């Protein structure tokens, strides 16, 4: 016995309500496996590959390439064996979106019937790794794979790109859609009562530690920056300040602490700002966190972030210091209670035991949801983060 399942465009995260179907990677009559990539869609944030939640034969492609499709719209029909153990078939991968509407046509730079692009590399690799490699012009055959059965992962591509030229972004124009999404997110953010606290700290010891770690074998090929160490301090401090990893639940009228720290990394690219997140960051050691930050940043700048990493963030860190800025007041990522802003690490005169010395100094800013945290809680948390960056032995003792 067989049954036909309709796969609906999933909720792709960050408040996105639609996506453009770029191309199908399957055709009618083809047998598809579980998690096989069915199609590629483009959102205001990234190019996303949609894996199949079903096993079976493609019976109908319901949407043509070049179509703008609202979330929740059926896009493909797959016929497969009925599973008596699963009385309720899933319709989306991430979550149910708005009520399905009829897809709308719009002018598109995408050809209505694109030809399959050649894929000369047959090296085992994850879909996100293949996409990142194509965008960056990297030959997968030259990259060692660390994934299952030697498959190349996005992190492996990130490692390979670390010593190469930056990604070519000239061909990726700024999208007005991105601006709309950024504006929508910021409007949503300002609905929360926000406040900020600041602290300038001597991080000379952390700067020296980063220099030693960069020369160690464990961090070979990884991008190890002040952001990485600050992210580790942020995640570590949450263990003793759990309310930082909470969100305000409107229905309950109360704050709810999240089970895992899904650390958002604000990434600025030609396509605009995105905030992909590292799942369960509290379980990662410093090497693993550096690898995850590198992979996520490379994927975001190439516009190939996996759907999984675009939703479910619980706290965010942003680094304005890379632009030579001393500090800033960030706005909360919607649904989160805290965002930490890292300013530029620079040499400044600093008083130590009534003597002026030249030290590496940074300004940290913590913006918080005042419904979730009090000013005292926020100040104590920021002080603890700064204390670990000032004395990295304290941070390492918590690893």
- Report yes or no: 66 and 108 within 8 Å, Cβ to Cβ: yes
Would you state the pLDDT for residue 177? 52
Q: Where are the domains of the chain?
A: 2-105, 127-162, 178-397
Q: Enter the CATH code of domain 178-397.
A: 3.30.559.10
Read off the tokens for 301. Answer: 């700048």
Q: What is the pLDDT of residue 84?
A: 40
Q: Which residue has the higher pLDDT, 187 or 359?
A: 359
Residue 248 tokens read as 């305000």
Confidence of residue 220 (pLDDT cuts 50, 70, 90): confident
Cα dist from 301 to 81, 126, 296, 322, 382, whole Å: 40, 18, 9, 15, 29
pLDDT of residue 14: 58
**Closest of 59, 67, 76 to residue 2, by C-alpha:** 59
pTM > 0.85: no
CB 36 within 8 A of CB 30: no
Interacting residues of 192 by C-beta distance below 8 A, sequence separation 6+? 248, 332, 334, 369, 370, 371
* pLDDT value at 237 more than 90: yes
Please report the pLDDT score of residue 117 as a whole number: 41
CATH class of 127-162: few secondary structures
Q: Hunting for tokens 């609905």 — which residue is that?
A: 191
Strand 263-265 vs strand 277-278: parallel, antiparallel, or unpaired? antiparallel
Amino acid 328: pLDDT: 93
CA atoms within 13 A on the CB side of 102: 3
Q: What is the mean pLDDT of residues 104-128?
A: 46
Quickly state the pLDDT bin for 115 (edges 50, 70, 90). very low
Q: What is the mean pLDDT of the chain?
A: 80
Confidence of residue 349 (pLDDT cuts 50, 70, 90): very high
Exposure letters 257-271 (e unless 16+ CB within 10 A, then b) = ebeebbbbbbbebbb
pLDDT of residue 94: 38
Question: Is 189 strand, coil or helix?
Answer: helix
Residue range 121-144: mean pLDDT, rounded: 67
What tokens were used for 280? 């369960």
Q: Which two tokens stand for residue 249?
A: 């639940």
Alpha carbons 220 and 235: distance in angstroms, whole number: 23
Categorize the per-residue pLDDT at 382 as very low, low, confident or very high, splitting at 50, 70 and 90: very high
Lowest mean pLDDT among 240-249, 271-280, 319-328: 271-280
User: Architecture of domain 2-105 in CATH?
Assistant: Beta Barrel (2.40)
Q: What digits encode the pLDDT tens for the residues 2-45?
A: 688 999 998 876 567 788 888 899 999 999 998 898 998 877 66
Closest CA to 121 of 131, 111, 109: 131
pLDDT tens digits, one per residue of 143-159: 887 765 677 776 677 76
Which one is predicted more confidently, 69 or 261? 261
Q: Which residues are catalytic?
A: 370
Pick the residue with more confidence: 288 or 268?
Answer: 288
Most trustworthy range by pLDDT among 23-37, 55-69, 107-121, 357-371: 357-371
**What is the signed CA dihedral for 330, 288, 52, 96, rounded to 10 degrees?**
-30
The rounded distance, in Å, linking the Cα atoms of 281 and 64 is 39
CB atoms within 10 A of CB 324: 9
Please give the residue that has the higher pLDDT: either 334 or 379: 379
Asked whether the predicted pLDDT for residue 204 surpasses 80, the reply is yes
Q: pLDDT at position 331, please?
A: 92
What is the CA angle 59-104-127, rounded to 5? 55
pLDDT band at 226 (very low <50, low <70, confident <90, very high): very high
């Amino acid at each position: 016995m067989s049954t036909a399942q309709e796969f609906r465009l999933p909720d792709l995260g960050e408040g996105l309500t639609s996506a453009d179907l770029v191309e199908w990677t399957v055709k009618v009559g083809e047998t598809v496996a579980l998690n096989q990539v069915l199609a590629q869609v483009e959102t205001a944030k990234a190019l996303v590959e949609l894996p199949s939640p079903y096993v079976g034969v493609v019976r109908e492609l319901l949407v043509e390439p070049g179509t703008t499709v609202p979330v929740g719209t059926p896009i493909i029909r797959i016929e497969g064996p009925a599973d008596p153990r699963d009385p309720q078939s899933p319709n989306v991968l991430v979550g149910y979106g708005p009520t399905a509407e009829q897809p709308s046509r719009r002018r598109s730079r995408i050809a209505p019937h694109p030809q399959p692009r050649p894929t000369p590399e047959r090296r085992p690799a994850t879909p996100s790794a293949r996409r990142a490699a194509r965008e960056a012009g990297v030959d997968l055959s030259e990259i060692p794979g660390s994934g299952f059965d030697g498959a190349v992962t996005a992190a492996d591509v990130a490692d390979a790109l670390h010593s190469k030229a930056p990604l070519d972004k000239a061909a990726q124009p700024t999208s007005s859609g991105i601006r709309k999404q950024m504006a929508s997110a910021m409007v949503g953010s300002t609905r929360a009562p926000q406040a900020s606290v600041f602290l300038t700290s001597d991080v000379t010891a952390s700067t020296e530690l980063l220099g030693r770690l960069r020369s160690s074998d464990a961090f070979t090929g990884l991008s190890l920056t002040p952001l990485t160490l600050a992210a580790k301090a942020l995640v570590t401090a949450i263990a003793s300040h759990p309310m930082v990893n909470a969100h305000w639940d409107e229905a309950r009228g109360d704050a709810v602490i999240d089970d895992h720290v899904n650390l958002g990394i604000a990434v600025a690219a030609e396509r605009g700002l995105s905030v992909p997140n590292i799942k369960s960051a509290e379980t990662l050691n410093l090497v693993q966190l550096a690898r995850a930050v590198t992979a996520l940043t490379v994927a975001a700048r190439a516009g190939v972030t996996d759907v999984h990493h675009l939703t479910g963030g619980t706290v965010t860190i942003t680094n304005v210091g890379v632009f030579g800025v001393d500090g800033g007041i960030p706005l909360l990522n919607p649904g989160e209670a805290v965002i930490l802003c890292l300013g530029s690490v620079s040499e400044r005169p600093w008083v130590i035991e009534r003597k002026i010395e030249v030290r590496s100094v940074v300004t940290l800013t913590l913006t918080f949801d005042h419904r979730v945290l009090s000013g005292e809680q926020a100040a104590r948390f920021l002080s603890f983060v700064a204390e670990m960056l000032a004395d990295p032995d304290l941070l390492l003792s918590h690893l």
